[in-house]
Amino acid sequence: MKFIKLTPLILSIGLFIFWINSVSFKKNEQENQIKPRPNIIFLLSDDQRDNTFGAMGHPVLKTPNADKLIENGVRFKNTYISAPVCSPSRVSFFTGMSERVHGVGFSTKFQMTEDQWAQTYPQLLRSNGYYSGFVGKFGVEYYTFKGKASEKFDYWEAHDGWSEFWPKELENCTEYADAKEDIITPIMGEKIEEFLKEIPEDKPFSLSVSFSVPHGSQIVSMYPDNELAAKARIPANEYPKLKGRPFYDTMYRDENITIPAETGTDPYVNIPKRMLDQSKGRATGTYIYDYSRESCKEHYIRYYQQISGMDKVIGDLMKSLKEKGLSDNTIIIFASDHGLLMGEYGMSGKALLYDMVEKIPCFIYDPRLPKSNTGITVDNLVSSLDITTTILDYAGIAPPANMQGRSLVPLMNGEKKEWRNELFLESLFTGRDTPFSEGIRMGDWKYIRMYGHHQWSWEDKDVDFKNKKPEFEQLFNLKNDSGEMHNLISEYEGSKILNELRNKTAKYSEEKNLERKRYIQSNPSAIKAR
């Protein structure tokens, strides 16, 4: 056996090579551990109810761009909104808290404060190194930093209040005066493109896009200054400026669009007049077009047109991300602020706990997911509050203690994780004679209880139902009655399941009030009356 004598030179070369390989290995290890944080885009529509994309099985709607994201992402089929009215819903998305806890809404006496804003997902992202943008309808309505919301973002092209289909002449939409387009949705598309041109190369970005469609403000203003058109009594495309326009002229007008069979029938069959007087705002003003069959169909046509117009903007966004080399690390989250009744139960509008109002379209597209985890529909019960926590989770930010949602990331990754089996629901909007409603979705069951409150605003004591008997109740078996047409309260009186649902609802309601008290005690400067 021969032995090779290692000279000092050979030994030095060997040690140098070993050092180079070691450094290279450590560098690769560090690079694998420190992955770039994803860009996050949150798209929020207005008044869009569940199942209103082609990929969700809608028989009429044409939405190829959203469909592609759904087919390559994850859909959350049972997503319920925290507050089924515009302003409190948006505040809940920002804060990750229910209306009863954060206290800001159309019917409350409070406004969002600077301290509350400091704990919202846009501010937390910005404070943790994200370049932050907002486009569209801010929608908070009541806040102490009115006129200064633009300072809360690095990029701001947005409006307070409601816009109209043609927004440029509105005082609250001056941000859009320089746009090339005239219609609100493509204007937002312009602003999205502008944002993408301004993002820095050394930061991840977050963009919140709050569409104004397919909200009623868009439906009634497609044909300006025409009372018949505002009531959907004549086709919107009789307005000359809509002639030849993609989406808004003839689209869906030749389709076989069906409206609910109960449209224009007695609404008090389902909720008695003593609980909800339809003549106080719904049937005579805000949603008048859904109380007759003729105008209801025109509403559906315009509603679908608005969704397809929004889908075009989504497609343009995806194209721009790809062209800019951003598509592989940008997460898209889509939701709506709530759904909408459009003739169902002989009525229209929001702020009730029917699935048509409470359930929203929700999906997440994460290009980093393995192919085996895409194109999936998740049946778990999801709250809109979960979206806030999910956004922070993707950014690697721990949610504040007051946030009430759970991250959807484990469900996205296909992890076998214990999840909720029931979900508390509530609506505290009391305008248009709407009652307080709260209830629970558990398995195949949905229970709702209502309390009349015939004033516009309420205080904390008004939502303490501990010693109050419900004035009206509903019980639905969603497996046998997905349309929630048959109230089973009388049939199940005294049953184990009804008692359980009542007790659980009462327990959740009391806990929400306690959470509000704890929140006020721990964050006194976050509470300010308006």
In order, the DSSP letters of 205-246 are EEEEEE--TTSHHHHTTSSTT-HHHHTTSS-GGGSGGGTT-T
Contact 72, 365 (CB under 8 A): yes
* Nearest-angstrom CA–CA distance, 81 and 45: 13
Give residue 285's pLDDT: 87
Q: What angle do CA 428, 432, 438 make, to 5 degrees?
A: 25
Give residue 34's pLDDT: 65
Residue 523 neighbours by CB under 8 Å, 6+ apart: 115, 116, 402
Cα dist from 515 to 100, 249, 475, 506, whole Å = 9, 49, 27, 14
Contact 392, 399 (CB under 8 A): yes
Cα dist from 187 to 41, 150, 161, 455, whole Å = 18, 18, 17, 38
Give residue 18's pLDDT: 44
Cα dist from 128 to 121, 261, 361, whole Å = 10, 51, 29
Give residue 457's pLDDT: 87
Contact 345, 354 (CB under 8 A): yes
Contact 346, 269 (CB under 8 A): yes
- Number of C-beta neighbours around residue 46 at 10 A: 27
* Nearest-angstrom CA–CA distance, 4 and 217: 88
Average pLDDT of adjacent 10-residue blocks, the chain of 530 residues: 43 45 43 75 98 97 98 98 97 98 94 97 98 98 96 98 96 96 98 98 97 97 98 98 97 97 97 96 93 97 98 98 98 98 97 98 98 96 98 98 97 92 97 96 98 87 95 98 98 98 98 96 90
DSSP 467: T
* Nearest-angstrom CA–CA distance, 390 and 408: 6
Concatenating the DSSP letter of every residue in 333-375 gives EEEES---EESGGG-EESSS-SHHHHB---EEE-TTS-GGGSS
Q: Residue 180: helix, strand or coil by DSSP?
A: coil
Lookup: tokens for 484: 């929630």
Sign, CA dihedral 355-357-358-363, equals positive
- Helix axis angle, 293-323 to 64-71, nearest 10°: 60
* Nearest-angstrom CA–CA distance, 360 and 363: 10
Give residue 455's pLDDT: 79
Residue 21 neighbours by CB under 8 Å, 6+ apart: none
